[in-house]
Amino acid sequence: MQLVVDGREYHVPEDFTLGTWEELQKWNTNNDKCLSIAFGLPIETIQRMSEKTKHLGLAFISTAMYPDYKPLNKKINSGTLINFSEMTLGQFIDLEVFVGRDFTKHIKDISSILYQTKVDNFWFIGDIWGGIKSYLKWRITLYNSYKNLFNIDNDIRDEVEDTTDSKVDVAHVWYDTIMILADGKFLNIEAVTDRPLVEALNYLAWNKTKIEREAELLRQTKSQIK
């Protein structure tokens, strides 16, 4: 497809490198700057565009930046998409920290974990977007499976997104969790983060239930004494 500006035709980008994608994210509130970056045109040329042409150009950019129509790629370059159900606790926590601190600013870090290889500015968003979307969807399912552990009572997606938008650093919350599993011992941290994620969550869920039962038993005992 072509975009016509001042009688000249310009190629409409169908994909962006991660370097360009991050630059577009940085300027996402400045439409003229985004159009300039995406189409490689001077700001002066963009400013001469009609509002209708700008709107069309921005629609093309949005479609290329969030290409939900792209297939899920399990192998890209030197990377292979991780089996989500087999990831370690440490890998999951790293992903949660990057997602919680705004995934648009850490898309290369997230992609590097998901595809188990170094992802740089020259990878294309269309190649890895399916993997990221697949992980985010699986993440919701995981939280849904352990909603009692995470004290999620209402809509799962809203609850998880609320934790992402929270001002509390997710890293601090997960560090507390790690220390519970490590029995409060720093030297046990690496062994804990290397354990399978599902195994760790199962233990945490069991331990939480155990503590709740013990607390309830203690309350009943105190009530009988009174």
Residue 84, both tokens: 């989500």
In whole angstroms, how far apart are CA 209 and each of 79, 149, 203? 39, 9, 10
Indicate the residue type of 162: D
What is the CB neighbour count within 10 angstroms for residue 222? 9
Q: What is the tens place of the pLDDT at every residue in 63-117?
A: 999 999 999 999 999 999 999 999 999 999 999 999 999 999 999 999 999 999 9
pTM for the model stands at 0.86
On the question of pLDDT at 176 being above 80, the answer is yes
In whole angstroms, give the CA distance from residue 223 to residue 216.
11
Please report, in angstroms and rounded to a whole number, the separation of the first and last CA atoms in the chain: 80
Closest C-alpha to 129, from 63, 84, 78, 36: 63
What is the CB neighbour count within 10 angstroms for residue 64? 21
Q: Which pLDDT value is given to residue 150?
A: 85
Closest C-alpha to 57, from 104, 20, 9: 9
Q: Which pLDDT value is given to residue 28?
A: 92
Rg of the chain on CA atoms, in Å:
23
88 φ/ψ angles, rounded to the nearest 5 degrees: -85, 165
On the question of pLDDT at 157 being above 70, the answer is no
Is the CB of residue 140 less than 8 Å from the CB of residue 157?
A: yes
Say whether 106 sits in a helix, a strand or coil.
Answer: coil
On the question of pLDDT at 50 being above 60, the answer is yes
**Mean pLDDT computed over every residue of the chain:** 90
Average pLDDT of the segment spanning 45-64: 92
Angle, CA 204 vertex, CA 200 and CA 206 arms, to 5°: 115
What is the CB neighbour count within 10 angstroms for residue 35? 26
Is the CB of residue 135 less than 8 Å from the CB of residue 114?
A: yes
Burial class (CB in 10 A: 0-12, 13-18, 19+), 119: buried
Is the CB of residue 35 less than 8 Å from the CB of residue 57?
A: yes
Q: Which pLDDT value is given to residue 202?
A: 95
